[in-house]
Amino acid sequence: MSRLTSQSTDGGGGRAAAADVRAFLDSLAGQPPLRSLSAADARAAVRQLVAAVDLPADPSVASQDFQFDAGGAHQLRARAFEPANAAPGPVIIYMHGGGWTTGDLDTHDSLCRSIAARTALRLISVDYRLAPEAPFPAAYEDALFATQRVLAGAGPFDARQGVVVAGDSAGGGLAAAVAHAHRGNDFGLRAQLLLYPVLDVAGRGHSYAECAEGYLLEAADMENFMDAYVPDREQRHDPRCSPLLAESFDSLPPLALLTCGFDPLRDEGRAYAARCVKAGVDVHFIEAAGHIHGIATLRRAIASSQHVLDRVYAGLLRLL
């Protein structure tokens, strides 16, 4: 029998955006959408935005960069984080967001430090290959390879207590796909931590129309990201890029999942949680009704987001 813990938090906004969310959105007026930029310019814009609107990195969390040898000339960069309050437990393997085309170890450095400190768990962030230079399944293959290597003893941390696969947005979808790749096998996956993940690149929930414009991530941006990562539309039903479409959810590890009320991806997150519950998976589900996509790296601008994230992390720890 699965356990479902479901909570909704509106950040004071109900069916309206929370006050600090609205103030942040208003501050972006006149900015060009990411879809109008080249890949290089979009990556630079994301770095600049995150540097301006996310919290400073927690200096109490130690970090070190290292590489996984993926064979040939491909070296998979990663960054390990160890909080000062580290406790015995699984290692979190984190895949950053950014629509498979932007984001890196630095854009998510502060967030990864915060997750490590607030969960007291060691964390490894994976710098997977980006599209359009490396389209599907490159990012998935890197995420899967890094997870398997950590479980096999590679990297600076002992993963004998298993791993948590985690990520935000596109990275959340990669983490979910990795969990499905290990479904039913005793490979040491302890949980999934998914923050407003991309879970279905073949379908479009009602939230795509409801939140099409005006909430930072727009439906047209998602179309642009998907065209870059999975340009072959016949591949979009592949569970490695659309884990919501997997045949079975049986024997998946427990799930902590966050959706945001004003996010085109909201409905696929809801559907993923529902399929996990139906399959008997323990689920901790939170919907931040007054919030937008991307809040995990907008914590300076949207102060209420940290409270939301803390509730997700607390749910994860209860599932372990």
Structure tokens, 5: 């813990």
Beta-carbon-side half-sphere exposure of residue 27 (alpha carbons within 13 Å): 12
Q: Determine the angle formed by the axes of helices 109-119 and 304-319, rounding to 10 degrees.
A: 50
| Interacting residues of 141 by C-beta distance below 8 A, sequence separation 6+ | none
Beta-carbon-side half-sphere exposure of residue 4 (alpha carbons within 13 Å): 12
Among all residues, which ones are annotated catalytic?
Answer: 169, 263, 293
Structure tokens, 177: 């796909």
CB distance 280 to 1 below 8 Å = yes
Query: Please, which contacts does 179-184 make with residues 24 or more away whose CB atoms are closer than 8 Å?
Result: 179/243, 179/252, 179/253, 180/239, 180/243, 180/246, 180/252, 181/144, 181/240, 182/147, 183/246, 183/248, 183/249, 183/250, 183/251, 183/252, 184/250, 184/251
Q: What's the burial of 308, exposed, middle or buried (CB within 10 Å: 0-12/13-18/19+)?
A: buried
